[in-house]
Structure 1
Amino acid sequence: MKKFRVSLQWKFFLCIVLIIFPTLGVIFTWTGIQNKNQSDEQVVNQARILARQIVLTRQWVTDCGGIFVDIQSQGAKDIACFFDDKLQTNHGEFQRFTPAMVTRKLSQYSTRQDQYRFRLASLNPLNPENEPDGFEREAINLFRTQKVNETFRFANNSGHQYFQYMVPLYLEKQCLECHNREGDSVNAIRGGLSVFLNVEEMMSAAHKNHLKLAIAGTSLIFMTIFTLFVLMRRFVIKPLKSLEEMTDEISSGNLEARVNINTGDEFDKLGHRFNTMAQSLSVGRDHLQERIALATKELSDANRELQTLDKLKSDFLATMSHELRTPLTVVRGGIDYLNRTIKKEDNRNYLEIIDKNLARLIHLVSDLFDYTKIEAQKSEWSFDQANLSVLIEEVVEIISPLTIDKDIVIKYDNPGDILVEMDLERIEQVLVNLIENAIKFSDRETEIKIGIEEDQTHVTVGVKDQGVGISEEHLNSIFQKFSTVPSAGINKPEGTGLGLAICKAIIETHDGKIWAESVKGQSSTFYFSLLKKRPQPSGFRPAPE
């Protein structure tokens, strides 16, 4: 999955946005809420003052026992009189106004000015116009049951917003003259004073203020983000870009690159350190190139000397192994003759020891001879189409007698004809070596499995034993010459350490691959793969016909 990468400046930008937006957003939201609460509190205070003034006016009228108003005056019109309480004077006829009538008249005046209005409400009104609405009815019950002193609400009526405030009205001793038929007592709640304030203008102003606050807040947020982003680019991103360009130049080989950061801060110091580092790298490179040139010359001379020594070693081993073959063959013939003629048991034991070590020496000389010829590319190869599955079957039949002593079973299921272009004798040598190793390293009464698989271009052979296994650290070294696998136990199999190296050289000459897989203490499996049809190898002479 491809990792999502974001540049540093955009990371800074996202951090600024994620910090500034919520912070200032919360601040402006809180300010808007506070302004709204303050506006609401202001409306409530206005209603309280107004209600208090009305209550005080009613109190004054009550304390005066009512007031007399000229019936013919403008102030006496449109007021229902429930009591025939008139007074004749030299100035005309006067009607006594109760606190309720005064309240009603003042409400008419306020309603005409469209600023506010108020009314009286009672559950048992003398005047039907004082019948309470739903809010007023609930408020009066609330005043009576829970002893609260006020209640209010913001409401909407046909698209017009208003504020309704209500306080309880208590019966006083002077009020019992008109309101004693229900059996109410002094200080009982008779009803309430309901004040209505028009808050549309206030709401409109508050909405405009909120809009202005939102515009100002948004502008401030964007200006803050923009300012911080510009400052961040100037004082952080730009110096980092300069340092990045310098490191790119240095990584591309230009050690003369320098950076110039004149910010007077930590980046300026860092730029000077980078320049000092580049100067040190430049001087070090020059010294290193001189040392590399000298070391290269020394290594070249040493390599030529090693190649000469290696050639001398290979020539020596090839000559020695060739020269040893003849005397070893003679000795072998003598040992065979003695085996046929000597009958004494002690002497035959000595001959058996000599014969065993002679066989190992002959095997070592043969391996040395083969490996030196392959390594020196002096071997002759004969690549022809051959049936690999048949070859495996023949090798198994030849080697089967070696399994008798350890009671080992070799399992091989012939899959049918598999034609491969190969040097038959060399591949037979590889199979013999791998199967013999499997027999040597297998426990008694186990089995060795040989498998073969093919595809359109390759064929793969595997030889699996049930032996001691090979540790992971030795799997890569076992194909090197003179390499042996450490094995626990007193019956450790011995070998020359050249068998697998010869197998590797043979398989690689076939443009193939050989490898091993193992589980320590359980089993080892050796594989080799060959091309079914290989190109003519270069550097080797074909076998004579």
Structure 2
Amino acid sequence: MTLIKKFVIYLSIVTILIISPLIMIIWHYQKELLLNQAKIQAETLFKMIVITRQWVAENRGRVEPVPAVATKEISEYAKKMANFKFHITSDILVNPENAPDEFEKKALKYFKEGEKEFSEIIEYPNAGTVFRYMAPLHINESCMSCHYYQGYKIGDIRGGISVFIPINSLKDTILLNNKMFYMFGFITFTSIILTVTILVNNLVLRHIKTLADASNEVIKNNYNVKTEIKTGDEIESLSMAFDKMVNTIARNEDLLKAKLKEAISNYVATYEELKNKNEKLLSLNKMKTDIIDTMAHDFRTPMTKILSYSEMLKDPKFMSDPLVIERAISVIYNNINIMKNSLDQILILSKLEYSDIALEFEEISLRDFVIYIVSLFDKEIDDKRLNLTIDIDDNLTVKADRNILNSLIKNLISNAIKYSKIDGEIIISARSNTEEVIFEVYDSGIGIKSDELDKIFNRFFRGSNVKNSFQGTGLGMSIIYQATRRLGWDIRVESEEGVYTKVTLFIPID
């Protein structure tokens, strides 16, 4: 239910509660007024009759009927000519027609008890509502001439005169007045309700609706709403307090959002830091495991040979044979180098796979760098009588980390030399376009089987055509792949078994 409806209902109830007793008082007052007016009429009529009787009694020489007869005749005229009537009666009858009715008997009884008058309102089927009034007739000196023989004394009650006053017309007048009063009261009440309702709506409810609408906007997180009610009273103070409250809520929400954002950022940063540290720990743990597994894999054969020849050197029967001693020392030395190279390869690969050390990129002359790496393999190239060609422009440079580039180029050239045939050919070339440098290492070696090309970057993988013919760890191509990945380069391998192998690096210029 709306506030205006509640206000109208409550105001109506209060008004009715206040007016109802007033109406009852007014109704009672009107009833008393009606009775008083009827009584005044009856008393006046009674006095007029008594005066008339007194005049007749004192003028017997001029008026023929006695007072009782005169009163009776006037009563008959009243029945015909007026809307009231009266009746003379007594409990000591001379004329039976003057016998008292029930009302008159009751009145005569009260008179004997000392009452001065008696009245009642009585409903008659034909006459309607009638005000009955009766007062006693006392014996005076003029009455003694007619009633001396009945034993009366002056001052005794001879009887009484009852007056009939119809009050229907008075009631109708009062009812009409009441209707007018009620109609005027209803119009006044309605006008007051409407006036008060309009005033309350304009002075209070309209502004309350403004505040309610503003509150709904605040619920929708719209803190730009302003009530700006200018009434110069408590409503304006409430409006100002509301606007101030909204501004405070907006500031607090912004502050809360900022703090929440900061807390979330700190949480995310802490989470990322812990995540990175955890990943780093997992990576280091995996690197440790891989290193141990790789060392166990690669060191088994060399260690076995070293132990075997070491035992041989301890045997007295071989101690005097220089050839055996020389052979044993050579085998031990070579296997120690093999273990050293394997360990170097393992450490390089582990750093490439797991290390998060920042790279230091620099401009490197590709031709000079390749020439330096090739010079490290002069003996191997000469032993195989290889025809090695370097086709790289002197001004061609690449941006790379020197250490990673060293591992990458060294393994590419080492593989090309190792798997080349005697009198074979190796071509190291590079060319550039607007987007990239294309670096190629070609060898006319034993090649790679086509069904094994997709496995060559796996750790420890060695082609089936080289396992029994060439010594190695199976880590070279893994190092090459991880090095290109760290540098952000692409790699492609092409090969035909028994014919050639070509490894191509695609190096972005930017």
TM-score between both structures, scaled by the size of structure 1: 0.48
Between 1:121-130 and 1:99-108, the stretch displaced more is 99-108
Partner of 1:66: 60
| Equivalent residue in structure 1 for 2:123, among 135, 156, 162 | 156
How far the C-alpha of 1:33 sits from its partner, in A, is 2.3
What SS does the aligned partner of 2:121 have? strand
| Equivalent residue in structure 1 for 2:226, among 255, 258, 266 | 258
One-letter amino acid matched to 1:28:
I
| Equivalent residue in structure 2 for 1:34, among 29, 36, 40 | 29
What SS does the aligned partner of 2:155 have? coil
Partner of 1:238: 206
How far the C-alpha of 1:272 sits from its partner, in A, is 2.0
Cα pair distance change 1:297/1:57, threshold 3 Å: same
| Equivalent residue in structure 1 for 2:82, among 100, 110, 114 | 114
Cα pair distance change 1:184/1:281, threshold 3 Å: same
One-letter amino acid matched to 1:243:
L
Matched, 1:22 2:17: yes
| Equivalent residue in structure 1 for 2:164, among 196, 203, 208 | 196
Partner of 2:195: 227
- Answer whether contact 1:21 1:221 (CA < 8 A) is retained: no
Between 1:281-290 and 1:237-246, the stretch displaced more is 281-290
One-letter amino acid matched to 1:104:
K
How far the C-alpha of 1:150 sits from its partner, in A, is 0.8
- Answer whether contact 1:115 1:197 (CA < 8 A) is retained: yes
What SS does the aligned partner of 1:166 have? strand
One-letter amino acid matched to 2:87:
R
Between 1:185-194 and 1:52-61, the stretch displaced more is 52-61
Matched, 1:177 2:145: yes
How far the C-alpha of 1:311 sits from its partner, in A, is 9.4
Partner of 1:280: 248
What SS does the aligned partner of 1:263 have? coil
What SS does the aligned partner of 2:175 have? helix
Give, in whole Å, the separation in 2 of the partners of 1:303 and 1:23: 74
One-letter amino acid matched to 2:155:
N
Matched, 1:53 2:20: no
One-letter amino acid matched to 1:110:
A
- Answer whether contact 1:28 1:217 (CA < 8 A) is retained: no
Give, in whole Å, the separation in 1 of the partners of 2:279 and 2:48: 125
Give, in whole Å, the separation in 1 of the partners of 2:170 and 2:282: 109
One-letter amino acid matched to 2:36:
E
Cα pair distance change 1:48/1:306, threshold 3 Å: farther
| 1:431-510 aligned within 5 A | none
Give, in whole Å, the separation in 2 of the partners of 1:311 and 1:278: 48
| Equivalent residue in structure 2 for 1:144, among 103, 112, 115 | 112
Give, in whole Å, the separation in 2 of the partners of 1:104 and 1:231: 69
Partner of 2:295: none
What SS does the aligned partner of 2:159 have? strand
Cα deviation digits, residues 307-353 of structure 1 (max 9, x gap):
678999999xxxxxxxxxxxxxxxxxxxxxxxxxxxxxxxxxxxxxx
Give, in whole Å, the separation in 2 of the partners of 1:313 and 1:41: 116
Matched, 1:300 2:268: yes
What SS does the aligned partner of 1:184 have? coil
Give, in whole Å, the separation in 1 of the partners of 2:159 and 2:29: 34
How far the C-alpha of 1:176 sits from its partner, in A, is 2.9
What SS does the aligned partner of 2:62 have? strand
| Equivalent residue in structure 2 for 1:123, among 91, 102, 105 | 91
Give, in whole Å, the separation in 2 of the partners of 1:197 and 1:9: 53
Partner of 2:5: 10
Partner of 2:464: none
How far the C-alpha of 1:44 sits from its partner, in A, is 0.9
Cα pair distance change 1:132/1:286, threshold 3 Å: same
What SS does the aligned partner of 1:68 have? coil
Partner of 1:270: 238
- Answer whether contact 1:166 1:195 (CA < 8 A) is retained: yes
Give, in whole Å, the separation in 1 of the partners of 2:115 and 2:270: 109
Cα pair distance change 1:67/1:113, threshold 3 Å: farther
Cα deviation digits, residues 61-83 of structure 1 (max 9, x gap):
33x163533xxxxxxxxxxxxxx
Cα pair distance change 1:98/1:313, threshold 3 Å: farther
Give, in whole Å, the separation in 2 of the partners of 1:248 and 1:219: 39
Cα deviation digits, residues 30-77 of structure 1 (max 9, x gap):
223212221221111121122122223323333x163533xxxxxxxx
Partner of 2:175: 207
What SS does the aligned partner of 1:105 have? helix
Give, in whole Å, the separation in 2 of the partners of 1:119 and 1:307: 124
How far the C-alpha of 1:306 sits from its partner, in A, is 5.7
Cα pair distance change 1:226/1:67, threshold 3 Å: farther
Cα pair distance change 1:308/1:201, threshold 3 Å: same
- Answer whether contact 1:28 1:213 (CA < 8 A) is retained: no
Give, in whole Å, the separation in 1 of the partners of 2:155 and 2:249: 100
TM-score between both structures, scaled by the size of structure 2: 0.51
What SS does the aligned partner of 1:178 have? helix
| 1:311-350 aligned within 5 A | none
How far the C-alpha of 1:20 sits from its partner, in A, is 0.8
Partner of 2:337: none
One-letter amino acid matched to 2:117:
E
One-letter amino acid matched to 2:119:
F
How far the C-alpha of 1:10 sits from its partner, in A, is 3.0
Cα deviation digits, residues 394-422 of structure 1 (max 9, x gap):
xxxxxxxxxxxxxxxxxxxxxxxxxxxxx
One-letter amino acid matched to 2:34:
S
What SS does the aligned partner of 1:132 have? coil
Give, in whole Å, the separation in 2 of the partners of 1:159 and 1:26: 35
Give, in whole Å, the separation in 2 of the partners of 1:304 and 1:37: 99
Cα pair distance change 1:134/1:299, threshold 3 Å: same
- Answer whether contact 1:171 1:187 (CA < 8 A) is retained: yes
Matched, 1:187 2:182: no
- Answer whether contact 1:28 1:214 (CA < 8 A) is retained: no
What SS does the aligned partner of 1:253 have? coil
Cα deviation digits, residues 153-202 of structure 1 (max 9, x gap):
22222242322110011122332332244433321211101111222211
- Answer whether contact 1:152 1:166 (CA < 8 A) is retained: yes
How far the C-alpha of 1:129 sits from its partner, in A, is 2.0
- Answer whether contact 1:120 1:191 (CA < 8 A) is retained: yes
- Answer whether contact 1:123 1:131 (CA < 8 A) is retained: yes
One-letter amino acid matched to 2:44:
I
How many residues end up aligned between the 2 structures?
A: 282
Cα pair distance change 1:159/1:219, threshold 3 Å: farther
One-letter amino acid matched to 1:18:
I
What SS does the aligned partner of 2:147 have? coil
